[in-house]
A and B are shown apart, each in its own frame.
Chain A
């Protein structure tokens, strides 16, 4: 038997709205926030997003969100006095988007999946199928 170890560089090229929403659901769960369709800036102005997440912060609960234009994503939000910076959120969103896409792809290939999100480390997804699986 052969096994392989493969390393890939991955980036979002043409985002899918359904996956963006599923990603935000997963992020909200991970961050302990809630999914929203508008985010607020420090001055109280609101912006519509395809999906966003409100996260607890000592500058107010304003949230970060994502807009989609022709498949291109843009992360919007105001990180002034927020514990999480917008660049950190963007990286987290991209990694979660990839993890949701991986899980759905493995499911479509007939694998049962299990995801393990380790804060500040890796997101690990295990896909298994076939007889002999102990679990």
Chain B
């Protein structure tokens, strides 16, 4: 049972590099969501260039899943 919980974590390091990590998205929707975020940042006047992108199988967040299964009981 997948959770509808979704998160996007963004870290801006001392050098101004932006690191984006998404969690909770099914399939490749995480890519679309990050691209939507980047488009909004560009609208805010920022020049954003992706330097590196890694896709990984998401580790199961048991904390979230436990809450979902508890709701169904």
Contact = CB atoms under 8 A, between A and B. Distances in A.
Contact of A101 (B30, B41, B53, B55): B41
A8 B11 contact: no
* Interface size range of chain A in the complex: 35 or more
B26 to A, nearest CB: 6
Contacts of B63: 134
Interface string B1-19: 0111111111111101111
Contacts, number: 189
B10 A124 contact: yes
A126 B9 contact: yes
A9 B49 contact: yes
Contact of B49 (A3, A8, A91): A8
B41 A10 contact: yes
Nearest to B33: A109
